[in-house]
């Protein structure tokens, strides 16, 4: 069972992105996020640590998260450059 936990800002390498096109694919989002840094890899699930948030029916909500191997102190991404 997973539990919520706090991560110190200087150790948090997750970037949350909102305003994404609702038809964006996982591959498009991963490619977009890889333009600004090296995406962390999850050895347990054997895939990049990238997530698109979806509703109960599976449609994209227009936001996502990416975990990088390096902490970003100042990062501003604009979703209009995704597609």
Q: Tens digits of per-residue pLDDT, 11-69?
A: 678 889 999 998 999 999 999 999 888 999 999 999 999 999 999 999 999 999 999 98
The DSSP element (H or E) to which 30 belongs, if any, is helix 26-33
- For residue 20, tell me if it sits in a domain: yes
How many domains does the chain fold into? 1
- For residue 78, tell me if it sits in a domain: no
Contact 11, 3 (CB under 8 A): no
Give the integer Cα–Cα distance in Å for 13 and 45. Answer: 19
- For residue 68, tell me if it sits in a domain: yes
What is the per-residue pLDDT for 28? 96
The DSSP element (H or E) to which 41 belongs, if any, is strand 41-42
Strands 60-67 and 41-42: unpaired
What is the per-residue pLDDT for 2? 52
pTM above 0.75, yes or no: no
Q: Is the dihedral of CA 1, 40, 60, 4 positive or negative?
A: positive
């Amino acid at each position: 069972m997973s539990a919520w936990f706090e991560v110190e800002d200087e150790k948090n390498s997750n970037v949350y992105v909102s305003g994404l096109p609702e038809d964006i694919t996982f591959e498009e989002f991963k490619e977009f996020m890889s333009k600004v840094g090296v995406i962390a890899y999850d050895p347990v699930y054997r895939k990049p640590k990238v997530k698109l948030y979806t509703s109960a029916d599976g449609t994209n909500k227009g936001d996502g998260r990416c975990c990088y191997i390096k902490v970003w102190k100042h990062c501003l991404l604009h979703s209009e450059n995704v597609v």
